[in-house]
Homo-oligomer: A and B are copies of this chain.
Amino acid sequence: MYSFVNDYSEGVAQPIMDNLIKSNMEQTPGYGEDKYTQKAKELIKSHIKSDNSEVHLVVGGTQVNLISIGAFLRPHEAVIAVDTGHICVHEAGAIESVGHRIVSVEGCDGKLYPKDIQSVLDTHIDHHMVKPRLVYISNTTELGTVYTLEELKNLSEICKNNNLIFYIDGARLGSALTSNINTATMEDVANYADAFYIGGTKNGALFGEALVITNPALQDDFKYFIKQKGALLAKGRLLGIQFATLFENEGDLFYKLARHANKMADKIQRGFTENGFKLLAEANSNQVFVILPKTIYEQLAQEFPGSIWEPYGDDSYIIRFVASWATPEEEVDKLIKYLEKFN
């Protein structure tokens, strides 16, 4: 059995593990004041060519979202997001828990467009309502779709024109930037966003997300927020070592791991279509959404479980299969082989 349920089923990529082992008994200052964290931050800033950015390393994605949004907004300010956004559904109310309303819009294929933002601005006009102030997107989105450079630019533009903060949840940014339809670089992302984070957890780290605050107006006192929300890791070097390893040589390992995940997903996708199954939509990242008859999935799940996204008609499911940095190509081959018997 091999699971395609998600991209955080295994531990850590070997080069990172090696560095953790190597440094284990070194003494370093706590709370991210160590040389590894320093190095990781420098590597990231250099990679995005942005000396004025500030980088912070924290453990998890919900954590970085709630800390950032909590730090960036005043209490009356609200977030605009698509209703499938991670913060809208799968964070147990984390954003509201720090006091902010999320104004959700429908979007399209998990993506947000300027007209969605405009519709919120048009209906939030005075102090009886919240004041929209931050635009949240994720790239890749929850549905595995990828923003083009043009789309990011357009979102950035409407944000700048309306004094909105543009924030990108990059839990799967690696997958987005190595997607075959992607046209943006991480430097582009840094140029267009006021803040974004680079996901480590879903791209080969044990854990860890690197928040990049490119807008200097949002940088003040950020460490206080990390501490206050319980996210200042005592042995902060663990984050430093991981991101330093991922971003050495212009992010060589980071992109390599992500590219592998996408490649495996693509292969899985072709395996399904070639065996006569329909996709929900063409996948361009590490998540594949395929329509499977319930009877077939129940059998398949014994060997190669994915996750049931939602029912599709009476007899089928939409099933999500996720490939990751750790997915062995031979398991993908076995899955495809297995599919042939349904053909």
Binding site for B on A (CB under 8 A): 2-3, 5-6, 8-12, 17, 20-21, 23-31, 59-67, 70-71, 74-76, 78, 89-94, 96-102, 127-131, 201-202, 206-207, 221, 223-235, 237-238, 326
Give A230 to B2 CA distance when docked, in angstroms: 28
| Residue of A3, A20, A228 most packed against chain B (CB within 10 A) | A228
A93 contact from B11, B24, B130, Cβ within 8 A = B130
Q: Does the CB pair B30–A11 fall under 8 Å?
A: no
Query: Which 5 interchain pairs have the tightest Cβ spacing?
Result: A63-B230, A76-B224, A11-B24, A127-B223, A92-B227
Q: Other than A11-B237, A127-B226, give 6 A-B pairs with Cβ distance below 8 A.
A: A59-B233, A61-B234, A75-B97, A89-B128, A90-B128, A130-B224
Cβ of A60 to closest chain B Cβ, rounded Å: 6
Say whether B100 contacts A93, CB under 8 Å: yes
Please determine whether B129 and A230 come into contact, CB atoms closer than 8 angstroms: no
User: A201-B235, A229-B97, A230-B65 are contacts. A224–B11 as well, Cβ < 8 Å?
Assistant: no
A89 to B228, CA, bound (A): 11
Asked if B96 and A101 make an inter-chain contact with CB atoms under 8 angstroms apart, the answer reads: yes
CA distance A131 to B235 in the complex (A): 24
CB distance from A275 to the nearest CB of B (A): 24
A27-B10, A60-B233 known; A129 vs B225 contact (CB < 8 Å)? no
A13 nearest CB neighbor, chain B only: B24
Chain B residues in 8 Å Cβ range of A21: 17, 21
Q: Which of A9, A27, A100, A202 has the most CB of B within 10 A?
A: A27
A94 — which chain B residues lie within 8 A by C-beta?
A: 227-230
Asked if B238 and A207 sit within 8 Å, CB to CB, the answer is yes
User: What's the Cα separation between A28 and B6 when bound, in Å?
Assistant: 10
Residues of B within 8 A of A231 (CB): 60, 63, 230
Judging by beta carbons under 8 Å apart, are B30 and A10 in contact?
Answer: no
Q: Which residue of B lies closest to A226 (CB)?
A: B127
CA distance A61 to B235 in the complex (A): 12
- Tell me, in angstroms, the Cα distance from A64 to B230 when the chains sit together: 8
| Complex Cα spacing A250 to B145, Å | 49
CA gap between A175 and B69 in the complex, in Å: 38
The residue that A129 contacts in the complex, of B9, B10, B60, B90, with Cβ under 8 A, is B90
List of B residues within 8 angstroms of A31 by Cβ: 128
Distance from A91 Cβ to chain B, minimum over Cβ atoms (Å): 7
Distance in Å: Cβ of A108 to nearest Cβ of chain B = 19
Contact check, B11 vs A20: say whether CB atoms are below 8 A apart.
yes
- Looking at A3, A99, A224, A326, the one whose CB has the most chain B CB atoms below 10 A away is A224
Which residues on the B side are within 8 Å of A237 (C-beta)?
Answer: 11
What are 27 A-B pairs at a CB distance below 8 A? A9-B28, A9-B30, A11-B25, A12-B24, A17-B21, A25-B326, A63-B230, A66-B229, A66-B230, A70-B75, A71-B75, A75-B93, A76-B224, A89-B128, A90-B128, A92-B224, A93-B101, A94-B230, A96-B101, A97-B99, A97-B228, A97-B229, A127-B232, A128-B227, A128-B232, A131-B221, A131-B224
